Amino acid sequence: MRGPRKLGRGVAIVGAGSSRFGAFPDRASREIFVDAFVETLASVDKGIDPKEIEALYLGCFSGDLFEGQGHLAPIIADWIGLTPKPAVRVEGACGSSGLALRQGIMAIASGLYDLVLVGGVEKMTSLPTDRVTDALAAASDVIYEAAIGFTFPGVFAAIATAYLDRYGAAPEHLMRVAIKNHENAALNPKAHFSQTIRAIMEARREKTRQRGGAIPNWRDEMDFLRDPQANPVVAWPLRLFDCSPISDGATCLLICAEEIAREFTDDPIRVVASAHASGGALASWDGLTSIPAARIAAQQAYEMAGIGPKEVQLAEVHDCFTIAEIVALEDLGLVGPGRGAWATAEGVTARDGLVPVNTSGGLKAKGHPVGATGAAQVMEIWHQLRGQAGARQVGGRDLRLGLAHNIGGTGGTCVVHILERR
């Protein structure tokens, strides 16, 4: 039987950058991507001539639906001055730029290229919320899921309901995830939501006072999040603050063959694992409290890296909804089955906890421009391992290993990358 897969050639990340995540009604995706590209070039410690870049792998879920623009990769390449270099769009729903990174890694590991740009972009806010929901539902199984109204809030509400029932958790466990991730995002200048839940609560209270209304008697963030007027139900048990926002944004990563990495930086971050697994619609799962493709991709990544989950020091996981972070903790083996909800409540995943999770703010608060998300997760790990995450930097430990977990669709795609600083 064959042993664990290994990259045929070492790959390192030597630069990364992103646009601000948020709503930018007057800007096209190509313009937003330029912001990420310019920052990426500036992040390369020893400088880089863009003419050295040999190819672009671009993650984008559906510029076709969101802004009526298909065939985006060569357009982006033209706007950043890379034509006539090869430019490929990679689509894997919310896992698009995680897959794009994997394609770039394989291109370098094969020896085809030495230096490539990986990116992700999505311009989602051109559409109203109901049409965004429909566009995202195209990433589900349109016959067995979307056709019966199983849009993504409904899918993850079903997962949450099953999880609460099986393990005896409560909606308050989901709220703890939102509070934690907003606290991290408040320290992230690129985040869509740069406020803590408490700050949002106080702003709402002040707004009510200025209008002369009855001032809500919220004692703390949990009171605020339990209030159905402040935090209405979207699909029970998920409420508004359990859901990631509709965001515009772009992210870039500059990756190269390990043997040339020190031409660009004295502090390269190595890719020690890139794993990808696929899965079917929810009806094919053996239960709703775990995503099968995520478990498989995680196991393959650990085998490729030659480590176990207990060696992971921090992680960025796909928290499109708060329940998704809880399930991811278990699928990745960072905690045992049924322990994800309590691990968050007990502070295990806090920035100063045993295994910090979503120090960027996660999809929940940093934002979720779906095509850019996977690359953005890896960028956060890159910054953290290099000690360059600013106010949200994990302190008090020598960070060496970080993991990024990117899901597409209703679990049909999962990509897991493990990065190492030596």
Give the pLDDT of the chain (422 residues) as one tens digit per residue.
566 788 989 999 999 999 999 999 999 999 999 999 999 999 999 999 999 999 999 999 999 999 999 999 999 999 999 999 999 999 999 999 999 999 999 999 999 999 999 999 999 999 888 899 888 888 888 888 888 878 899 999 999 999 999 999 999 999 999 999 999 999 999 999 999 999 999 999 999 999 998 899 999 999 999 999 999 999 999 999 999 999 999 999 999 999 999 999 999 999 999 999 999 888 888 899 999 999 999 999 999 999 999 999 999 999 999 999 999 999 999 999 999 999 999 999 999 999 999 999 999 999 999 999 999 999 999 999 999 999 999 999 999 999 999 999 989 999 999 999 98
Cα dihedral 176→399→360→177 (10° resolution): -10
Active site residue 60: no
Task: Output the pLDDT for position 144.
Answer: 84
User: How many Å apart are CA 309 and CA 401, to the nearest integer?
Assistant: 10
Task: Output the pLDDT for position 213.
Answer: 87
| Side-by-side strand order, sheet with 314-316 | 87-90, 56-59, 115-123, 248-257, 11-18, 269-278, 413-420, 401-408, 314-316
For strand 248-257 and strand 11-18, is the pairing parallel, antiparallel, or unpaired? antiparallel
User: How many Å apart are CA 301 and CA 415, to the nearest integer?
Assistant: 9
Within 8 A by CB and 6+ apart from 398, the residues are: none
User: How many Å apart are CA 47 and CA 41, to the nearest integer?
Assistant: 7
Active site residue 368: yes
Query: What separation, in Å, do the N-terminal and C-terminal C-alpha atoms of the chain show?
Result: 31
Task: Output the pLDDT for position 137.
Answer: 85
User: How many Å apart are CA 331 and CA 302, to the nearest integer?
Assistant: 12
User: How many Å apart are CA 380 and CA 393, to the nearest integer?
Assistant: 10
Task: Output the pLDDT for position 282.
Answer: 83
User: How many Å apart are CA 175 and CA 89, to the nearest integer?
Assistant: 36
Task: Output the pLDDT for position 281.
Answer: 83
Q: Which two tokens stand for residue 242?
A: 């359990």
pTM of the entire structure? Answer: 0.97
Catalytic annotation, pick one of 60, 94, 256, 414: 94
Task: Output the pLDDT for position 255.
Answer: 98
Closest CA relative to residue 9, chosen from 252, 267, 274 = 274
Q: Which residue has the tokens 């770039």?
A: 104
Catalytic annotation, pick one of 173, 276, 368, 417: 368
Task: Output the pLDDT for position 157.
Answer: 96
Within 8 A by CB and 6+ apart from 149, the residues are: none
